[in-house]
Amino acid sequence: MNIFGIGPAELFLIGVVALLVFGPKKLPEIGRSLGKTLKSFQEASREFESELKREMDRAESPASTSMTATIEPPVQPALTSSEPATPVTPAEAEPAPAAKTNAVDSVDPV
């Protein structure tokens, strides 16, 4: 039995320390409150899980109905190998004007 990564030996040691710290009269009361707290955490976890599942199911149901689309035929037929393609001549690019640069004397590192 392994609860939260704690084995039986560790649980026994925790029980002995709790008995020494709280005493035998307070220990049953602490155990009851700890049990109630764990039960409420489990209920909250189950509620969260069911709510998450319900939302996932609700999100999937409209998406599946709205995903129906029809494929329209293309407007222009594609070129076939029997139709020759018209060659396109590229436009001539004008040479860019020379950029004006300032000459900088080279500096020797010291």
Residue 7 counted as domain residue: no
pLDDT band, very low/low/confident/very high, at 94 (cuts 50, 70, 90): confident
Residue 32 counted as domain residue: yes
**pLDDT tens string 19-47:** 899 888 888 888 899 899 999 999 999 99
Report percent pLDDT > 90 for the chain.
23
Range of the domain at 62: 25-66
Residue 57 counted as domain residue: yes
pLDDT top residue among 46 and 58: 46
Residue 19 counted as domain residue: no
Q: Report the alpha-carbon distance of residue 99 to residue 86 in Å, rounded.
A: 38
pTM: 0.40
Residue 47 counted as domain residue: yes
Question: Mean per-residue pLDDT for 44-73?
Answer: 81
Residue 6 counted as domain residue: no
Q: How many domains does the chain have?
A: 1
Q: Do 50 and 42 contact (CB within 8 A), yes or no?
A: no
Residue 75 counted as domain residue: no
Residue 2 counted as domain residue: no
